[in-house]
Amino acid sequence: MRNRHLSIILVFILWAGLTFASQGSEVVETFDVNGLQVIVKPNSANEIVSAQLYIKGGSLNLSESTQGIEPLIFESALKGSQHYSKEVINTLLDKTAAQIVSNSNRDYTAVGMRCLNRFFDQIWDLFVDVILNPAFEEKEVELVREQLLVGIRQRQDDPDSYLNELSDDLFFRGHLYRFDPQGIEESMAAISIEQMRDHLKSNLQTSRLLLVVVGDVGPDQIKRKVEETFGRLPRGDYQSVLPDPIMHEAPALELVQRDLPTNYIQGYFSAPGLSDPDFYPMRMAMNILAWRVFEEVRTKRNLSYAPSAFFSNEFANRAGIYVTTVYPDTTVKVMLAELKKMQEEPVSAKDLNDRIAMYLTQYYLNNETNAAQAQFLARFELSGLGWEAGEGFVENLRNVTAEDVQRVANRYFRNIQFVYLGDLDLIDEDVYTSM
């Protein structure tokens, strides 16, 4: 039955790979407009156009007092611009079923538009105006600020959100990533409209920007539009700098007493970023670890319904393990035993190939949309490798060997930075600082 299941997966991968290849069969073109790099991937397979403008830097653009400023800027921008009132923006987006959204993370802020190609000219004009000419009316800014503050304050009300906040604080301590792009309460409450205008102006330089467009549009059409809009911005002299890798010299444990029905535990450890050759074997190592942890913790022992192992996607990267359980020491011992097992024993060729096949199934599914393909191209470009390096993603994964997996397990499965949220009387601290 298992072999039949795997055969079905392999057939799906072949179908999905051919589908993904057909979507990308039109040649990607890239050009420069006054220092602004533009990547265009024509895709006539559907009527959707996705355009995403990336502001480089992420946490590297922030200070203690400006954490959260970019979400505040771009959420407020959608409440009105020089040529579009809030009501007109909402009506136009509703009428055309288009979207303009922003996302700020530790590596960049992206402002994206998504629409049917027949509405592209209309939505492009709106997209440009909210970025270049936001009104920042005080009433609307304060409304957005309060909404963002509510989200920040609610982090401590949800155990998983609070665990993530504590884990980030411990893992990123002393690193530039310690500045939270989503903001903290003190910074979000104090950012002024003048600061917002100054920050936006200083970042709207073509050397700080990347534009990626995927959809049924031509490069010449995009080039003309960029020349008339973003291409007129000052060039500046920004040089992209990748953050230093995050390395910890010893394991650590942070304890927070909470009266909860269960206990929440998360441990981060260093991991290679996209530009590191170890990225591909580490991604598969974590995929295998996630599978084994689930089998051992949930399926065989029923110690938790929610064990996991994960691999992040930041330029200064991390991986980790997570569980919520009423048996914390027992559960964590089982999870750490799986990490040690991967260090001591090579994974079988069959298990590795099965996991690669399953991972690629999800990879093709995740890259079906134009927006996802734009993000994929952008991440490789912003990493310093260049968007072309993404074309080798599948081959690099398929080339991972059992020896590669064991090597990265020994290199990175160490000095785990644990956070424990729950009943402190239940734990032996030595369990969490043993690896």
Q: Say which amino acid occupies 223.
A: K
pLDDT of residue 380: 96
pLDDT band at 22 (very low <50, low <70, confident <90, very high): very low
C-alpha Rg value of the chain to the nearest Å: 23
What is the pLDDT at residue 17? 46
Longest dimension (CA), the chain: 66
The whole-number pLDDT of residue 26 equals: 75
DSSP H helices, 24-137, are: 69-77, 86-96, 120-132
DSSP 68: T
Model pTM above 0.85: yes
Domains and CATH numbers, the chain: 22-232 (3.30.830.10), 252-432 (3.30.830.10)
84-137 pLDDT per residue, tens: 999 999 999 999 999 999 999 999 999 999 999 999 999 999 999 999 999 999
Does the structure show a pLDDT above 50 at 417? yes
Task: Output the pLDDT for position 376.
Answer: 96
Q: Taking 70 as the threshold, does the pLDDT of residue 336 lie above it?
A: yes
**Residue 20 pLDDT > 50, yes or no?**
no
The pLDDT confidence band at residue 1, using thresholds 50, 70 and 90, is very low
Flag whether pLDDT at 16 surpasses 50.
Answer: no
Within 8 A by CB and 6+ apart from 74, the residues are 102, 104, 109, 111, 130, 131
Residue-wise pLDDT tens digits, 339-382: 999 999 999 999 999 999 999 999 999 898 999 999 999 999 99
What are the tens digits of pLDDT across the range 258-316?
999 999 999 999 999 999 999 999 999 999 999 999 999 999 999 999 999 999 999 99
Ramachandran assignment for 80, one of left (phi > 0), alpha (psi -120 to 50 degrees), beta (any other):
left
Kindly state the tokens that stand for 10.
């392999």
pLDDT band of 24, cuts 50, 70, 90: very low
| Mean pLDDT on 415-429 | 97
Q: How far apart, in whole angstroms, are the C-alpha atoms of residue 386 and residue 375?
A: 13
Asked if pLDDT for residue 77 goes beyond 80, the answer is: yes
- pLDDT tens by residue, 231-241: 999 999 999 88
Q: What mean pLDDT value characterizes the chain?
A: 93
Residue 142 banded pLDDT, cuts 50, 70, 90: very high
The set of residues, in sequence order, having a beta carbon less than 8 Å from that of 188 and lying 6+ positions away, is: 67, 68, 72, 145, 148, 149, 152
What pLDDT does 9 receive?
43
* Residue 87: CB atoms within 10 Å: 9
Contact 316, 244 (CB under 8 A): yes
Least confident of 42-51, 72-81, 317-326: 42-51
pLDDT confidence of residue 115? 97
Confidence band for 335, pLDDT divided at 50, 70 and 90: very high
> Confidence band (pLDDT; 50, 70, 90) for 23?
very low
